[in-house]
Chain A
């Protein structure tokens, strides 16, 4: 039984980074403790030390006053410490109970007694309101339920301290509420919950105590009743950040009369498993407009972006740029016509991390930076230098491998590269995922500037706040269809959340078949 757990003066160094700088953290039984900080503040490192995944360079961990050594997650689990990673560690073809007992010895001798385990799991599930079917295959479960499988794995091992790393990143608002109600009940058993997050609203919503980290240091620990979002923000970033950025209104009359820059007409796309990923999506994007696409990850948003760029085979439907059919043109042709794309995966698609910043700055336009058959390396370097200084990429050296840049700086490099080239349209996918507040702000400003310059922007994001702040209209996708389109100015989070979960929109919506709603026939919701 853990009563108190203390991490004292934890120091952890990684190549070139001081990830934890004499960090202190005290946890008591029965509390929900939020660990708040920007990306790269050292939260995950600190938790991975507590879970025995990383060794520490200095410092000590005291469990009820006794010093403990955590050399591996195995040691941590034995002491009742469990962790749910952001990426779930589940075997997808296995059932819930099989995943739960994985690594344990359940049953007499070498035999595995799944029925006993199932009964125990069922009992845990009922007691904690997890609503899990032990026999269900994980691959058939929605993300939110998979997360509860991760939680039941910890409860099954009787973890007293549960660490959840960014648990809400992949959830719909409804799933998040569900998760929070499960978590709120855990401290009653004397369990401790740590939530690692960079979202202030969630901290205020669920935590009893909050510890703020910045640059590897612990800035402060506060009781939630004695603090405010303003104070926490200040502790996180060291300055006031106004995230309600100013969006100038564009004259909507013009854009409706004009031909849309990008028209997507009844697009059908198949996924790798031959199931339909896009089931007839139609959208219009006008010059100077940001059309947001809301939706839980995996409802066809990435496929939409890739299909528009023709990075993915299209079954039927058309994509028009300024009225001209570009559906089956090559990716290179799309780029030459002035359509840019910022993919969600910065490190594996948007950049070549092994190559230098300068080489990444010309990615996609490598044929343009040449004279004859030779590369014009001077020209390419100049343009990389401009890019780095205009978009404030740090560090500014263009010869370092791009993989050494932090997420935010790499994103600024990619976004800058694509914005500069986007003479007509820009497709942006999850532009601020995993970025810290100051990087978010910079990315948002750049997107609004591109909108000001009259570019047609398709903004795909799972962050509702981002969409409501930036977009002019928000289309909600579910299961490969556009469920509805709302005006960002008077949309409500609740309504969009309902549509994200696949529920039909409010009764006021005209009875369009899903997917047939185009931009010009706006469905005004709320």
Chain B
């Protein structure tokens, strides 16, 4: 009898097959979430319309989508570099905060009468990016050194380092960097240090351009440079890497440095483009959601951009959904997580061929009598 799923001998790994599986996973996640919508008495169609209409079909909403997508993409790019180099870095919340702190500090120092005094934006921006990147790089690079020199577990250490950064931020915004007489937050950054808005009538800022450039650079690093080759070899097989004369320790530290740097850029972009001041809780989970984006994009730096837009858009749409369909916005968190779970599950389908025709076509032979094997 023909089966709906026929076992295949070699896995299907063509780009089309990968795309089809990814969409299948998204649709499966949406189907399951639809049941959750029902339990709130909402119509799933309306809920999904609310979820996707505002972020992708309105200009204002799309502007917000870009705002949310930029830091997500940068964290996801950091994930790609470190994970493909075999360094399972999970400290992006921490590097995000480090990037946000140093760029806020630099921006506040360019206020009139502050340490540096006003400086042209064209000087300020590269300086902020470099400073943020290096600060985050060194922050994560320390984890890299602990692993490379003493065999520390980067998963645990980087996860814990997030809390160090969170408390550091708390201290700074309630102490030395606090604006007089206000909530625990810094003063508004000087207008001259804000990232320019790029879509008139929206909040969309140049951060998405920084993310795009970073994606291109990461792609170039991994695909086109001997350094990227060495990082990937190290990630796949550290023994072969050592055998090939690659300094595995240095490459590990470098991968950590890049990851922290990219994570910090997310913080830079968020502060200079969107929040315009430093406050507690500024990262808002982007450091973890970005990892999810990288997983969903299958560690491909180019695929990260649309994936980050999707996830950024969903977080914008979640608010609209709450307003219009009266569904808690946290349901989208479930949707986002389910998508990843299903994505991991659909990998089983690599070994099957989908035959919808078996549903309506009669089998050529009826089952013969006898004992089935």
Contacts and interface: CB of A to CB of B under 8 A. Distances in A.
Interface residues of B, number: 22
A364 B244 contact: yes
A16 interface: yes
Interface in A352-392: 352-355, 359, 362-364, 366-367, 369-370, 373-375, 377
A331 interface: yes
Contact of B247 (A332, A334, A362, A369): A332
Contact of A374 (B10, B225, B246, B247): B225
Contact of B237 (A311, A352, A366, A373): A352
A355 B230 contact: no
A349 interface: yes
Nearest to A334: B245
Given A16-B9, A363-B240, A370 B247 contact: no
B18 to A, nearest CB: 16
Contact of B240 (A350, A369, A373): A350
B224 A374 contact: yes
B239 interface: yes
A373 B225 contact: yes
A52 interface: no
Given A348-B240, A350-B240, A352-B240, A375 B226 contact: yes
Given A330-B245, A331-B243, A15 B9 contact: yes
A341 B233 contact: no
B242 interface: yes
B155 interface: no
Given A331-B242, A335-B245, A364-B244, A355 B9 contact: no
B365 to A, nearest CB: 18
A13 B245 contact: no
Contacts of A335: 244-245
Contacts of B226: 366-367, 369-370, 373-375
A168 interface: no
Contact of A349 (B225, B227, B232, B239): B239
A350 B9 CA distance: 27
B236 interface: yes
B87 to A, nearest CB: 17
B247 A366 contact: no
A508 to B, nearest CB: 41
A359 B11 CA distance: 21
Interface in A14-63: 14-16
B229 interface: yes
| Contact-residue bracket for chain A | 35 or more
Q: Interface of chain A, helix or strand or loop or mixed?
A: loop
Contacts of A330: 245, 247
Contacts of A369: 226
Contacts, number: 77
Given A352-B236, A352-B237, A373 B227 contact: yes
A375 B225 contact: yes
Contacts of A16: 9-10
Given A13-B9, A352-B236, A364 B229 contact: no
B181 to A, nearest CB: 51
B240 A331 contact: no
Contact of A355 (B236, B239, B245): B236
A344 B192 CA distance: 62
A432 interface: no
Nearest to A348: B239
A39 to B, nearest CB: 21
A350 B243 CA distance: 7
A369 B9 CA distance: 36
Contacts of B247: 330, 332
Contacts of B227: 373
Contacts of A377: 224
B83 to A, nearest CB: 14
B225 A311 contact: no
B39 to A, nearest CB: 43
A407 to B, nearest CB: 16
A331 B246 CA distance: 8
Contact of A366 (B10, B11, B229): B229
B258 to A, nearest CB: 15
Contacts of B240: 348-352, 363
A354 B242 contact: no
A332 B233 contact: no
Given A348-B239, A349-B239, A355-B233, A366 B244 contact: yes
Contacts of B224: 374-375, 377
A341 B224 CA distance: 27
Contacts of B236: 352, 354-355
B9 A366 contact: no
A332 B230 CA distance: 12
B231 to A, nearest CB: 11
Nearest to A13: B9
Contacts of A341: 243
Interface string B196-212: 00000000000000000
A431 interface: no
Contacts of B11: 15
A100 to B, nearest CB: 34
A519 interface: no
Contacts of B244: 331, 335, 363-364, 366
A343 interface: yes
Give 7 closest A-B pairs by Cβ, nearest first.
Answer: A332-B245, A15-B9, A364-B244, A331-B245, A370-B226, A363-B244, A366-B226
13 contacts: A15-B9, A309-B243, A331-B242, A331-B243, A331-B244, A332-B245, A333-B245, A335-B245, A348-B237, A349-B243, A350-B240, A352-B237, A375-B229
Interface of B: 9-11, 224-230, 232-233, 236-237, 239-240, 242-247
Given A332-B246, A350-B240, A359-B229, 19 more contacts: A13-B9, A14-B9, A15-B9, A311-B242, A330-B245, A330-B247, A331-B242, A335-B245, A348-B239, A352-B233, A352-B237, A354-B236, A355-B233, A363-B244, A366-B230, A366-B233, A373-B226, A374-B224, A374-B226
